[in-house]
Structure 1
Amino acid sequence: MTTSSQPSKPTNSTKPHIVTREFEAPRELVRDVCTQPGHLAAWFAPGGRKGSVKSFDFRVGGMIHYCQTAPDGSDPVWGRAIYTEISPKHRIVYMQSFSDESANIGSHPMAPGWPRVMHCIYRFEDLGKNRTRFTVEWTPADDSSAESIALFDSARAGMDGGWKGTLDNLENYIKTIR
């Protein structure tokens, strides 16, 4: 059974940015570490950053509000995501934004022209033998300007680096809890 809320659509103006990683872990474990606040705080930040979860309501229409900081707690970058579809075991869809400490949508701290809302899909594919393919698909939301879409398209190498660090953290975290 899939639960979803009002439609949320990616823009048709650009290709999604897709990152994929295979993990030596069952799908249920990979999904759990992506859907439980204690787990998320342990890994959800690019390499060299530290994550924390301020609030978490994992249901359609619910929100996660999180922060990523330097290891010493300085340089906070806040974000939020509103869940729009939750399919048990297979897929999670949400609308993600940078935010302030109160969860109000904000601008990217280093790229003010960045799309204010991103359509994001997590996919969890069971490969058998305790292996899971985790795919993240990111696309600017359908109300993004041409300028913000161009900035998104020009930043793909940086997104690859950020997601690589984040997924490295996830891989290392999974190894510690298996």
Structure 2
Amino acid sequence: MTDARDAEPTWSLDRETVLSRVFDAPRELVYRAWTDPEHIQRWFSPKGFSCTTHTIDMRVGGMWRFDMFAPDGTRYPNRMTFLQMKAPELLVFDHGDDTDDDPNKFRVTVTFDAQSNGKTVVTLRQLHPSKARRDATVAFGAVEIGNTTMDKLEAHLQALSR
């Protein structure tokens, strides 16, 4: 009989990256910026990158297929498949390259927490398939890239508030 204590532990924290940001905007607006096709296409890419959508279907089971273009013109095909959408508090999707069998795709869980001062805390968790993949993604600059993407969201929300 196998004892559970003999199993090698797999900690999700070893496979996870977490970003969190406070936005000076109501939760409903921040959630809409993430889930409305007209909004997300305007800000979802790192600083200096542009985004071109092929298809976008923002519903559970739907998909967003898009390319990100780096400042040097390098094209990065992307695909998000939406798994959970609970307005205005939760969004869960798989994110990877634009193939059906991407072994490096990762699960993203975004939570939207309203604060008593009208601001919203967004917490984004990326769960990678392995610790090695997470480490490679961090080494590539995923945290910095994620923060510049959040900067673009912040600018987008500020423009909407004017």
Report the TM-score when normalising by structure 1.
0.76
| Secondary structure of 1:176's aligned partner | helix
Matched residue, 2:22: 22
2:125 maps to 1:137: yes
Q: Distance in 2 between matches of 1:156 and 1:75?
A: 20
AA partner of residue 125 (structure 1): D
Q: CA RMSD in A?
A: 2.1
Change (3 A) 1:42 1:18: same
Q: Distance in 2 between matches of 1:66 and 1:37?
A: 12
- Contact kept, 8 Å, 1:122 with 1:134, in 2: the verdict is yes
2:85 maps to 1:86: yes
AA partner of residue 97 (structure 1): G
Give how far 1:163 is off: 0.4
Larger CA Rg, structure 1 vs 2: 2
| Secondary structure of 1:128's aligned partner | coil
2:133 to 116, 134, 151: 151
Give how far 1:119 is off: 0.8
Number of corresponding residues: 150
- Contact kept, 8 Å, 1:97 with 1:105, in 2: the verdict is no
Q: Distance in 1 between matches of 2:145 and 2:85?
A: 25
Give how far 1:12 is off: 4.5
Q: Percent identity?
A: 27
2:108 maps to 1:120: yes
Structure 1: unaligned runs, 5 residues or longer: 1-10, 108-114
Deviations 1:42-72 (A, max 9, x none): 1100111112322111221111112211358
AA partner of residue 51 (structure 1): C
- Contact kept, 8 Å, 2:15 with 2:134, in 1: the verdict is no
Deviations 1:127-176 (A, max 9, x none): 12220001110011xxx4x5xx3132244261110101100111111111
Matched residue, 1:175: 158
2:148 maps to 1:165: yes
Report the TM-score when normalising by structure 2.
0.83
| Secondary structure of 2:97's aligned partner | strand
Change (3 A) 1:154 1:97: closer
